[in-house]
Amino acid sequence: MNGIKNPVFTKKGNSVLAKKKYTIKYTIEAELGSTKTEIKNRVELIYRVKVIAINSHRLQKKGRRMRPFMGHTMHYKLMIITVQPGYSIPLF
């Protein structure tokens, strides 16, 4: 699963998942260098679902102090995947 890191469970993501009117949306973390088409192909291949759309955005780095040194957390992409009606990802 190169490119896909892990699913993200947040309050907003769960509320979108709970609506389930016509389409279902899932939120995942992806590596910074991956593109929408790569993620779409990997999700369709691994989970055997049909992806309608993918929205993505990069999250900013956060400062992290480790005693005298100032560092930062790793940044990543957040992908919101919209799946066709009738399909679902069993991981969620």
Residue 89 pLDDT level (bands cut at 50, 70, 90): confident
Domain housing 63 = 4-83
First to last CA, the chain: 16
Q: Is 18 part of a structural domain of the chain?
A: yes
Rounded CA separation 66/58 (Å): 24
Say what the pTM is. 0.74
47: amino acid identity, one letter: Y
Q: Is 75 part of a structural domain of the chain?
A: yes
Q: Is 90 part of a structural domain of the chain?
A: no
Number of domains in the chain: 1
What's 26's domain CATH number? 3.30.70.330
Radius of gyration of the chain (CA): 15
Q: Is 78 part of a structural domain of the chain?
A: yes
Residue 48 pLDDT level (bands cut at 50, 70, 90): very high
Q: What are the pLDDT digits (tens) for 11-46?
A: 776 666 666 566 788 888 888 888 899 999 999 998
Q: Is 91 part of a structural domain of the chain?
A: no
Other Cβ atoms within 10 Å of 47 Cβ, number: 18
pLDDT of residue 4: 84
Q: Is 92 part of a structural domain of the chain?
A: no
